[in-house]
Amino acid sequence: MAKLRVHELAKELGITSKNLLEVLKESGEFVKSASSTIEAPVVRKAREYVEAHPELSNKKPAAKKAKPSGEAEKSEPKKAAPKSKAKPGPKPAAPKPEPEAKPAETEAKPAPAEPVAEEKTESAEPHPTQASGSPITPKSAAQSAAKSAPKPHAPKPKRDDRRRDDRRHKNDGQRGGGRNSAPRPGNNPFASNQGMPRPAGPRPHAPRPGNNPFASNQGMPRPGGGQGGGPRPQGGGSRSGGAGKARPSGPRPSPNMMPNHLEQQPSSPSRGGGRGRGGNSGGGRGGRPGTGGGFTRSGGKSRGGSTAGAFGRQGGRPTRGRKSKRVKREEWENQSSPMVQGVQVPHGDGTTVVRVRQGASLGDFAERIGADPAALITVLFRMGEMATMNQSLDEDTFKLLGAELGYDVQVMSAEDEDREILEQFDIDLDAEEAAEDDENLVARPPVVTVMGHVDHGKTKLLDAIRHARVLETEHGGITQHIGAYQVHIDYEDTDRAITFIDTPGHEAFTQMRARGADITDVAILVVAADDGVMPQTVEALNHAQSAGVKIVVAVNKIDVEGANPAKVRAQLTEYGLVAEEYGGDTMFVDISAKQRTGIDDLLEAVLYTSDAEVDPKANPDRPARGVAIEAKLDQGRGAVVTALVETGTLRVGDPLVVGAAHGRVRAMFDESGANVEEAGPSRPVQILGMSAVPSAGDSFIVASDDRTARQIADKREAAKRAATLAKRRKRVSLENLNEALKEGTVQTLNLILKGDASGSVEALESSLLEVEVSDEVQLQIIHRGVGAITQNDVNLATVDNAVIIGFNVRPAERVQELADSEGIEMKFYSVIYKAIEDVEDALKGMLKPIYQEVQLGSAEIRQVFRSGKFGNIAGSIVRSGTIKRGTKARLVRDGVVIAPELEIASLRREKDDVTEVREGYECGITLGHKDIQEGDIIETFEMQEKARD
Ligand SMILES: Nc1nc2c(ncn2[C@@H]2O[C@H](COP(=O)(O)OP(=O)(O)OP(=O)(O)O)[C@@H](O)[C@H]2O)c(=O)[nH]1
């Protein structure tokens, strides 16, 4: 199912998304925006078209496609002939291919070769997305273009830039011709009526009746084009030759264009083409309006034997008769597919990119390349891998398989995948953002994160701000920590709000970013004036700068003796933060978080910086979108999510999706615990009503209804599961997969990481998490931190049976003794790879657990009873421990084991069957062993796994 998006394909082809969109739209494809997905067949067509039209390219014309085009050229002549259909003449003589003729070429060929096969494959695929989408309206394009112009405020790094880029993009795209009139003369590959700008109006109708995905204008006359279809060189037209008559205008600019390609599609090529060509060249009818659709695939189809020739039936018959076509297509593919590993499967050219989701199965991949899954299973098997059709494959396996088949298989990132999921519900966040009209945007409070070195006063500062500013509010101040809060300040005679993320430190900031949540507008970098710039100060500013976040420096602890604020300013210039007083553009404010001085100045500096450098804006009049900042499970209230609204307004009752959780907003609270009915941009609120607890950094969107919300959440959950499955599979070799599954025991190695700096701890953690030994053993980092190993760490290790890893740190006083007495292992490293090696070894060691025998009890046989029914019964007395029924036993006589592998088959006290008998009691035991005597000792034991040290 993984599909390329327009912008991705555009990038790949070196043209603008706009151009590509136009090309696609013109060809009748239902693409909505640059983020819309496009089906493989369309991708292929577009690729071929663009390759054939280097003029479309922005950057590198058709360089990379050189090869394909070359091929195209080769075949051109052939096609050209058929194409000439333009000419009424019965015999398409035109030997001379028109420049654009390439695309058509293939189809023209009487004997469709591989390309045909490929095309077919594509065509067979349904095009759900396209069908539902509607083209971007000219209005939105116009709006977005308009937006780009005025930029009242200073440069806005993040979002604005992005938006601007988009606009630029759009504008670029339009460069050819009228902005709305998508079709650029000459450029549009699929356009049937090239050269005639098509009024934007009709576009929306794009959806042709019928469901021929390729017929651009089925059944609808194209304005201006006269019959639009008629003239279309492409399709069957060319083939049938007859079409000619339809052709009003002279030589079709690009008969070969896409249309032809399309024709190559599955069915058409072989039969359609043949038919049209031969039999009914009469295709004459091609004149039919509407028919010649860009992707005339239908033209070819006109199998009705009738004349339908080239342009023929399209209008009337979209894609019916699918079945037989499909069958034929398969037959065709089978004939033309190359052999790989002795199996016939489609083959790429080595550069063909196939995108699959994380955790995609072989079946998914087969669908993408139009192969028979069974054939792929065989190929994989012969490559030494075994997989079923529905089993998730990991990226490596896909890559291997792809390489074998000539495809560059790319596993989609989680973000792309999510985008794709949303697109299935017609939600395209990027496009919406790009299409947002500046007029609808209103200023929103800046979102601020506090960062800095350990102990420089981040928490104290957040407290100071909270107290200074929130206690005065009507609700009586912040009563709870919800992960974010808003304060108000009188700034330039206006009441202004600032939103603070209440989790200090760049780790949280980075974690959120890693999940795609760029919510911070301004970062306050806290530097203690008595300590100066420290390692984490630098880390924090690097993180902020790399995120394009503006920084305000809070020089803290100026109340401390020896504080040297000037030194901080001087130090930070080295890192590109030059104070205004030194001619730079960064605001430095001296504060004392402890004494709560300078706080107002700091807040003003934040607002000043925000206004000047960020100018955050959002449209409050739309369904809300935002990010989950914190989430927890509350016993009485269920999932409690603190969400920050980024745009739109969130209201109680809204159907919401947060990550893989969904639900209706049952109630909302602000940081003071007060009920909130609605929350606008930059407003943090606690939300009740979600079905599950999402992760911090998960984005949320208001869905159109509960059902959609649930479906999106379900799909996300499924994607997550598939990704996890794929990862897990990676770690289990095929040989031991079944065993591992059978045993069902997964062992976990718990680790506590302590390091000299958070950077090194993070690096160590991420490296360790990549260690994969087997699916049976997992590695879990239960705690990490900066600084010496403390008693707390050891206590935690005791509880969770963890190993402590110290990276460039040592245990604090008396901690070593504690660890020794608790049997906690501490390991110290100064090189990351050494730690990784050791952990890897430990994990491997865990693979083969050592079992040890544990004695459970022993009993002495006092008397032997012979019973016909039960065999020999040992009347015994339990000498130690407990004798349990069903446990393993051995028989010892005079210190010699005479029967090592027995089992307590039955156990009785008096006349009752019992499960166990304790020390000192008499009992009757049967062992299923005849040779027992008075005085023999029955020892019972079990095998217990021994933890490795
Ligand atoms: N004298 C003085 N002490 C301060 C000031 N700000 C913070 N402190 C003290 O510095 C210590 C660390 O403050 P925190 O706010 O916990 O520092 P932090 O940066 O949040 O520390 P971590 O959470 O460990 O990263 C505490 O003992 C505070 O009381 C200040 O302005 N003046």
* Structural domains for the chain: 6-56 (no CATH), 346-412 (no CATH), 414-430+619-731 (2.40.30.10), 445-615 (3.40.50.300), 740-846 (3.40.50.10050), 850-946 (2.40.30.10)
Is residue 511 very low, low, confident or very high in pLDDT (cuts 50, 70, 90)?
low
Beta carbon of 598 within 6 Å of any ligand 1 atom: no
The predicted-structure confidence for 876-896, as pLDDT tens digits, reads as follows 999 999 999 999 999 999 888
> Measured from the CA of 462, which atom of ligand 1 is nearest?
15
Torsion sign across C-alpha atoms 417, 418, 424, 430 = negative
Tell me the pLDDT band of 523, cut-offs 50, 70 and 90.
Answer: very high
CA geometry: angle at 241 spanning 42 and 104, to 5°? 25
Give the model's pLDDT for residue 325: 62
**Per-residue confidence (pLDDT) for residue 648, from 0 to 100:** 93
DSSP state of 256: I
Per-residue pLDDT, 260: 37
Flag whether 793 is marked binding: no
Q: How sure is the predictor about 3, in pLDDT bands with cuts at 50, 70 and 90?
A: low
- Tell me the pLDDT band of 760, cut-offs 50, 70 and 90: confident
CA nearest neighbour of 347 among 117, 125, 122: 117
Of 773, 588, 780, 612, residue with least CA distance to 154: 612
Q: CA-CA distance, 640 to 742, in Å (whole number)?
A: 38
452 is in an annotated binding site: yes
Kindly state the DSSP code that residue 937 receives in the 8-state scheme.
Answer: E
**632 strand-pairing partners:** 640
Residue 157 pLDDT more than 60?
no
Give residue 651's pLDDT band: very low, low, confident or very high (50, 70, 90).
very high
Q: How far apart are the first and last CA of the chain?
A: 47
Q: Which residue minimizes the CA distance to atom 2 of ligand 1?
A: 557
Please name the helix (run of DSSP H) or strand (run of DSSP E) that holds residue 767, with its range, or none.
helix 758-769
Q: Where are the beta strands (DSSP E) in 323-476?
A: 339-340, 343-344, 352-356, 407-411, 442-443, 447-452
Ligand 1 atom with the shortest distance to the CA of 526: 19
Q: Which two tokens stand for residue 805?
A: 């890893």
- pLDDT of 949 > 70? The answer is no
Does residue 940 carry a pLDDT above 70?
yes
CA–centroid distance, residue 606 to ligand 1 (Å): 21
Q: Is 453 annotated as a binding residue?
A: yes
Looking up tokens 């002939």, which residue turns up? 81
Contacts of 665 (CB under 8 A, 6+ apart): 650, 651, 652, 653, 654, 656, 687, 688, 689
Alpha carbon nearest to ligand 1 atom 7, residue: 457
Lowest mean pLDDT among 239-253, 333-347, 491-505, 682-696: 239-253
User: Does residue 639 carry a pLDDT above 70?
Assistant: yes
Tell whether ligand 1 has an atom less than 6 A from the beta carbon of residue 537. no
Name residue 699's beta-bridge partners: 627
- Owner of token pair 């059709």: 389
Strand partners, 685: 643
Question: 313 by DSSP, 3-state: which?
Answer: helix
**pLDDT band for position 782 (50/70/90)?**
confident
Q: Please give the distance, rounded to the nearest whole angstrom, from the Cα atom of residue 544 to the centre of ligand 1.
A: 21
Tell me the CA–centroid distance for residue 458 and ligand 1, in Å. Answer: 7
Check if 556 has its Cβ closer than 6 Å to any atom of ligand 1: yes
Among 459, 555, 560, name the best residue to mutate to test ligand 1's pocket (greatest count of ligand atoms within 8 A of Cβ). Answer: 459
DSSP string, 43-96: HHHHHHHHHH-GGG-SSS-SGGGHHHHHHHHHHHHHHHHHHGGGS-SSS----S
Best residue among 450, 451, 453, 455 to mutate for probing ligand 1's pocket (most ligand atoms within 8 Å of CB) is 455
> What percentage of the chain reaches a pLDDT higher than 90?
20
For residue 725, what pLDDT is reported? 63
Closest-CA residue, ligand 1 atom 6, reads 457
- Crossing angle (nearest 10°) for helices 395-405 and 373-382: 100
**Does 487 carry a binding-site annotation?**
no
In this prediction, residue 514 carries a pLDDT of 65
Ligand 1 close to Cβ of residue 560 (< 6 A): yes
The answer to whether 360 touches 394, Cβ cutoff 8 Å, is: no
557 CB within 6 A, ligand 1: yes
Max mean pLDDT among 36-50, 155-169, 481-495 falls in 481-495
In 552-697, which residue ranges form alpha helices assigned H by DSSP? Answer: 565-573, 599-609
In short, whether 536's Cβ falls inside 6 Å of ligand 1 is no
Q: Residue 424 phi/psi, 5° resolution?
A: -65, -20
The reply to whether 558 sits in an annotated binding site is yes
Half-sphere exposure of 29 (CA within 13 A, CB side): 35
Q: What is the mean pLDDT of residues 254-266?
A: 36
Give the residue with greater pLDDT, 396 vs 27: 396
User: Quick one: DSSP state of residue 583?
Assistant: T
For the Cβ of 459 lying below 6 angstroms from any atom of ligand 1, the answer is yes
pLDDT digits (tens, 9 = 90+) for 698-707: 889 998 889 9
Residue-level length of the chain: 949
Ligand 1 contact, 457 CB (< 6 A) = yes
pLDDT digits (tens, 9 = 90+) for 827-878: 888 877 788 888 887 777 665 556 788 889 999 999 998 877 777 899 999 9
The alpha carbon of 670 and the centre of ligand 1 are apart by a number of angstroms equal to: 26
Of all protein residues, whose CA lies closest to atom 29 belonging to ligand 1?
594
559 lines ligand 1 (CB under 6 A): yes
Instruction: For ligand 1, atom 14, name the residue with the nearest CA.
Output: 457
pLDDT grade, residue 696 (50/70/90)?
A: confident
In terms of Cβ atoms closer than 10 Å to its own Cβ (0-12, 13-18, 19+), residue 525 is buried
592: Cβ below 6 Å to ligand 1? yes
Contact indicator for 347, 114 with CB cutoff of 8 Å:
yes
Q: Does ligand 1 have an atom closer than 6 angstroms to the CB of 787?
A: no
Q: Which mutation among 589, 594, 761 tests ligand 1's pocket best, with the greatest number of atoms within 8 A of CB?
A: 594
Going from the C-alpha of 673 to that of each of 479, 632, 677, 892, 898, the distances in angstroms are 6, 16, 13, 72, 75
| Cα–Cα distance measured from residue 218 to residue 194, given in angstroms and rounded to the nearest whole number | 16
- String of b and e for 640-666 (b: at least 16 CB within 10 Å)? bbbbbbbbbbbebebbbbbbbbbbbbe
The span from the CA of 287 to the CA of 235, in Å, is: 12
Please tell me the predicted confidence (pLDDT) of residue 64.
36
Lowest mean pLDDT among 131-140, 746-755, 826-835: 131-140
* pLDDT score at 880: 92
447-452 vs 522-528, strand pairing mode: parallel
C-alpha span between 326 and 305 (Å, rounded): 18
| Cα 543 to ligand 1 centre (Å) | 21
The HSE-up count of residue 930 (CA atoms within 13 Å, CB side) is 2
Between the CA of 733 and the centroid of ligand 1 the distance, in Å, is 51
What is the β-pairing status of strands 550-556 and 522-528?
parallel
Give this complex's ipTM. Answer: 0.98
Mean pLDDT for all residues in the chain: 69
User: Cβ(506) to ligand 1 under 6 A?
Assistant: no
CB 693 within 8 A of CB 632: yes
* Confidence bin at 775 (pLDDT 50/70/90): low
- Ligand 1 midpoint to CA 526 (Å): 10
**Burial of residue 782 (number of CB atoms within 10 Å: 0-12, 13-18, 19+):** middle
Residue nearest atom 11 in ligand 1 by C-alpha distance: 455
Angle between helices 138-148 and 159-174 (to 10 degrees): 120
Give the per-residue pLDDT at 163: 38
The answer, yes or no, to whether any atom of ligand 1 lies below 6 A from the CB of 504, is: yes
CB atoms within 10 A of CB 245: 18
Q: Distance from the CA of 611 to the center of ligand 1, in angstroms?
A: 29
Higher pLDDT, 588 or 326: 588
| pLDDT of residue 935 exceeding 60 | yes
If you average pLDDT over residues 478-507, what whole number do you get?
Answer: 81
Q: Are 602 and 589 in contact (CB under 8 A)?
A: yes
Instruction: Write the pLDDT tens digit of every residue in 279-306.
Output: 333 333 333 333 333 333 333 333 333 3
Rounded-to-integer distance, Cα 43 and Cα 3, Å:
9
- Burial, 731: exposed, middle or buried (Cβ in 10 Å; 0-12, 13-18, 19+)? middle
Q: Examine the pLDDT at 318 and tell me if it is beyond 70.
A: no
How many Å lie between the centroid of ligand 1 and the Cα of residue 596? 12
| pLDDT band at 273; cut points 50, 70, 90 | very low
Which atom from ligand 1 is nearest to the alpha carbon of 454? 25
Which one-letter amino acid corresponds to residue 25?
Answer: K
pLDDT-based confidence at residue 245 (cuts at 50, 70, 90): very low
Give the separation between CA 844 and CA 686, rounded to whole angstroms.
Answer: 44
User: 193 — phi, psi (to 5°)?
Assistant: -115, 45
CB 596 near ligand 1, within 6 Å: no
Q: Which residues pair with 448 in a beta bridge?
A: 500, 522
Q: Give the position, in ligand 1's atom list, of the atom nearest the Cα of 591.
A: 31
Q: Which of 322-326, 380-384, 723-727 has the least mean pLDDT? A: 322-326
Full 3-state SS string of 465-497:
HHHHHHCCCCCCCCCCCCCEEEEEEEECCEEEE
Q: Model confidence at 155, in pLDDT bands (50, 70, 90)? A: very low
Pocket lining: 458 vs ligand 1, CB cutoff 6 Å: yes
Atom of ligand 1 nearest to the CA of 463: 15
Strand partners, 451: 525
pLDDT at 278 over 80: no
User: Are 465 and 487 spatial neighbours (Cβ–Cβ below 8 Å)?
Assistant: yes
